[in-house]
Structure 1
Amino acid sequence: MVKRQLPKPRDLAPLMQFKKFDFNASRRRLSAALTIEDLRTIAKRRTPKAAFDYTDGAAEGELSLSRARQAFEDVEFNPSILRDVSQVDTSTEVFGGPSALPFGIAPTGFTRLMQTEGEIAGASAAGAAGIPFTLSTLGTTSIEDVKAANPHGRNWFQLYVMKEREISYGLTERAAAAGFDTIFFTVDTPVAGARLRDKRNGFSIPPALSLGTIINAIPRPWWWMDFLTTPPLEFASLSSTGGTVGELLDKAMDPSINFEDLKIIRELFPGKLVVKGVQNVEDAKKLADLGVDGIVLSNHGGRQLDRAPVPFYLLPDVVREVGQDLEVTLDTGIMNGADIVASLALGAKFTFIGRAYLYGLMAGGRPGVDRAIEILKDQIERTMKLLEVPSIEELEPKHVTQLHRLMPRNSQTLVDQPQ
């Protein structure tokens, strides 16, 4: 029998310690977020449906996005043992310069629509964390203002080649003049994908007021207050072109883009040239032969061609074929630091986050972006320590097994099967 007694006050005192209450509600919310999914939940609660769905959604049935995320969930890690991981080094070199972490912020359009600080929050947070920031052609902050927000960090520019080529050439020259060291030549957008959530929500810039948007705005007055008291949304890099949003989008996506355009941009830009949107081994090999500095394996976050290849599945084959000739990087579907570690182990030189950063932005502006980066950093370090790998360079394919739910059907095998 266990002897029982009444607790003494001095025994209770150590147990009666309450966490000091933080009267800053935003800081309280962000500190309670332990995962990117937690930030997504906060973002959904605080952002109007049309803006949230623009970030969260993908093309058509959203199969490409769900498959990309499933691919990362189907990773099995293979840890080592008895290695000193009291310290781990998460720094790396990519496209001719350093990064404190093996991921950067991907280009995103209409960013100030999600939260009024937009690209300024992303660029300044990236600079503070020592990672690169990528500005989209369809960003809502100018090239020069991003440079001012991140004066000492690495800034990159994502370029759409437009029907009016002189606009693209001018943007390329502005990026070079502002000290951007890398340009992302984007090749997966001959036309815009069918973003059905946006169509159903009547998405527009500026947001159009309707009965639905007004009802949706009632519990989110802070978003509308920010929106109505800050400068109007526009494509800051394209503000001199004029025209409606639809006209600007039409200029930004040109189905006639070709390899000659790539050659011209190479001649105009003195920094690193990276091709974004590569989706097969053959194209990767051709680009390696042309001497580009790197590629981004990407299906545009599932926002262009639905049922497109999953970049994470492509990664080992592409690295095997061209990894010695150019730097292979990856985006689409990353929601956890473990996703980044798995990509690095299979040969990716670097990775990019889009939605993960925007969830943080919508959840709390600049502090929310800081929190998103911090969450991923902690997850990367913890995963590396549990794998017992002390540096990025020591991650190898042996540390990861890709478990496949979707396997290509072998046509010859099907023919040989008994009827």
Structure 2
Amino acid sequence: MPNRKLNPSSIVNIEDLRTMAERRVPRSVFDYLDGGADAEVTLAENCRAFRETTFRPRGGVAVYNCKTTVSVLGYEIAFPAILAPVSYIRLMHADGEAGVARAAGQAGTIYTLPTISGHKLEDVKAASTGPLWYQVYLIGGRQAAEGAIDRARRAGYSALVLTLDTPLAGKRERDPRNGMKELLAPALLPKARFLPNILAHPRWLASFLLDGGVPKLGNVVVPGKGPMDLVDVGAALSHAGASWEDLRWIREMWPGPIVAKGLLTGDDARRAVDEGAQAVVVSNHGGRQLDCVSAPLHALPEVVEAVGGQVEVLMDGGVRRGSDIAKAICLGARAVLIGRAYAYGLAAAGEAGVARAIQILKDDLDLTLTLLGCASIDQLDATYLGAAHRR
């Protein structure tokens, strides 16, 4: 499917991309991207936490061309937003992970390639002009993970992201209702009752078929069996949870930085520091794992205090606007990770949609800094927030 040109006057925020994505992909694919666990309480809370956090701008300050660059694990990026790992993304658009990597590199930021990727990690690296991180799941067992980590090292990935909040996949109730598992299955019969919705998206279907249908997991090569099928991922995740012990053995074989992702407490963040992580991501997996847990924005100050500046603190979950990025920075994050925001763009218009999502957030952040009277992202702190967030 060729990328459609996006009219900036009609796509002014991330919600516009979400609306377009909902029209352009089958319900099963959209709801996989859009949905959360159980009653989706945490999914909603992630965004609400940002909406309920207020600013205290500085009056009588005229600043323009605000500085948004920041250094993360030794790399200077254009603004403090890194593209998070989002699985199954090649189902949303044939550009897939390679298109996302190209858009991230052109925008001057980092893309984190998921284990559950439709493109091989070497191909994604070749497509990118910027730094890449590789996210680690232990699906397929340690040998499969070791093989992928070694490939990532040889390909030039700069950091590993170990996800610690997924001992198994959360109960995402939209998926069984809309046939996500059936879409991935090779047999046609299970898809029968979902075919009307699939056929209602002929452009997506044509692109999906021309792209070869459901791809193999080229980054999960199980010894003696070869690349894993996407349909087998759910079962594989049920016994692939990463532990602190796993972080230790990965530390021994990986020469670069390790990012511990999926922490919500100061105690866990301290443990990550003790086990050798160079950064932590305050995250509840976008509300897709355990429902009714804290929004990362609320958990962020505890984690920042617990690590005491020994490692870099990142956060993800609910970021839809540049002002959200600014609020996270005010509370001590070095940068945020964005997931759904750019994935909506990919589903809407491929690589061009990802580029538009990034530009929306970057422009919005620059405007926020200007209106706050803050000349540089590194000057943000809790004094720019309402009384509830000032110590």
**Do they superpose with TM above 0.5?**
yes
Give 2:352's aligned residue.
367
Q: Supply the distance in 1 between the matched residues of 2:37 and 2:218 (Cα, whole angstroms).
A: 25
**Residue 215 (structure 1) shift:** 1.8
**Partner AA of 1:110 in structure 2:** Y
**Residue 210 (structure 1) shift:** 3.7
Q: Do the aligned partners of 1:183 and 1:272 also contact (CA within 8 Å) in 2?
A: yes
Q: Does 1:376 align with 2:361?
A: yes
Q: Supply the distance in 2 between the matched residues of 1:54 and 1:343 (Cα, whole angstroms).
A: 26
Task: Please point out which of 297, 301, 304 is paired with 2:282.
Answer: 297
Closer, same or farther: CA 244–311 of 1 in aligned 2, 3 Å: same
**Residue 26 (structure 1) shift:** 3.1
Closer, same or farther: CA 247–210 of 1 in aligned 2, 3 Å: closer
Q: Do the aligned partners of 2:163 and 2:261 also contact (CA within 8 Å) in 1?
A: yes
Listed as ranges, the matches of 1:47-62 within 5 Å are: 47-62=25-40
Task: Please point out which of 203, 206, 219 is paired with 1:222.
Answer: 203
Deviates more, 1:367-376 or 1:228-237: 228-237
**Partner AA of 2:71 in structure 1:** E
**Residue 30 (structure 1) shift:** 5.5
Q: Does 1:390 align with 2:390?
A: no
Task: Please point out which of 115, 133, 139 is paired with 1:156.
Answer: 133
TM superposition score normalised by structure 2 = 0.92
Closer, same or farther: CA 282–352 of 1 in aligned 2, 3 Å: same
Task: Please point out which of 148, 162, 166 is paired with 1:171.
Answer: 148
**Partner AA of 1:224 in structure 2:** L
Length, aligned pairs only: 380
Task: Please point out which of 85, 90, 97 is paired with 2:68.
Answer: 90
TM superposition score normalised by structure 1 = 0.86
**Residue 401 (structure 1) shift:** 2.7
Task: Tell me the SS of whatever aligns to 2:21.
Answer: helix
Q: Do the aligned partners of 2:328 and 2:336 also contact (CA within 8 Å) in 1?
A: yes
Closer, same or farther: CA 103–323 of 1 in aligned 2, 3 Å: farther
Q: Does 1:337 align with 2:317?
A: no
Give 1:128's aligned residue.
106
Give 1:117's aligned residue.
95
Q: Supply the distance in 1 between the matched residues of 2:8 and 2:206 (Cα, whole angstroms).
A: 21
Closer, same or farther: CA 260–210 of 1 in aligned 2, 3 Å: closer
Task: Tell me the SS of whatever aligns to 2:157.
Answer: coil
Q: Supply the distance in 1 between the matched residues of 2:384 and 2:251 (Cα, whole angstroms).
A: 37
- 1:240-295 Cα offsets, whole Å, 9 max, x none, are 63454343443345366422211110111111111000111111112223331010
Closer, same or farther: CA 243–163 of 1 in aligned 2, 3 Å: closer
Q: Supply the distance in 2 between the matched residues of 1:349 and 1:86 (Cα, whole angstroms).
A: 22
Q: Supply the distance in 2 between the matched residues of 1:306 and 1:402 (Cα, whole angstroms).
A: 28
- 1:189-213 Cα offsets, whole Å, 9 max, x none, are 0011111100111212536664543
Q: Supply the distance in 2 between the matched residues of 1:393 and 1:294 (Cα, whole angstroms).
A: 18
Give 1:238's aligned residue.
220
Closer, same or farther: CA 281–130 of 1 in aligned 2, 3 Å: same
Q: Does 1:68 align with 2:46?
A: yes
Listed as ranges, the matches of 1:200-349 within 5 Å are: 200-204=177-181, 205-206=183-184, 210-232=191-213, 233-239=215-221, 241-242=226-227, 244-254=229-239, 257-349=242-334
**Partner AA of 1:226 in structure 2:** S
| Seq. identity, % | 38
Closer, same or farther: CA 250–384 of 1 in aligned 2, 3 Å: same
Give 1:415's aligned residue.
none
**Residue 112 (structure 1) shift:** 0.7
**Residue 403 (structure 1) shift:** 6.0
**Residue 214 (structure 1) shift:** 2.5
- 1:333-358 Cα offsets, whole Å, 9 max, x none, are 11111111100011000101110011
**Partner AA of 1:225 in structure 2:** A
Q: Do the aligned partners of 1:274 and 1:293 also contact (CA within 8 Å) in 2?
A: yes
Q: Which runs of 5+ in 2 are unaligned?
A: none
Q: Supply the distance in 2 between the matched residues of 1:125 and 1:227 (Cα, whole angstroms).
A: 21
Give 1:185's aligned residue.
162
Q: Supply the distance in 2 between the matched residues of 1:55 and 1:325 (Cα, whole angstroms).
A: 34
Task: Please point out which of 129, 142, 145 is paired with 2:123.
Answer: 145
Closer, same or farther: CA 219–201 of 1 in aligned 2, 3 Å: closer
Q: Do the aligned partners of 2:55 and 2:386 also contact (CA within 8 Å) in 1?
A: yes
Q: Which runs of 5+ in 1 are unaligned?
A: 1-23, 405-419
Between Structure 1 and Structure 2, whose CA radius of gyration is higher?
1
Closer, same or farther: CA 298–291 of 1 in aligned 2, 3 Å: same
Give 2:343's aligned residue.
358
Give 1:78's aligned residue.
56
Task: Please point out which of 164, 174, 181 is paired with 1:197.
Answer: 174
Q: Do the aligned partners of 1:104 and 1:133 also contact (CA within 8 Å) in 2?
A: yes
Q: Supply the distance in 2 between the matched residues of 1:314 and 1:201 (Cα, whole angstroms).
A: 33
Deviates more, 1:255-264 or 1:50-59: 255-264
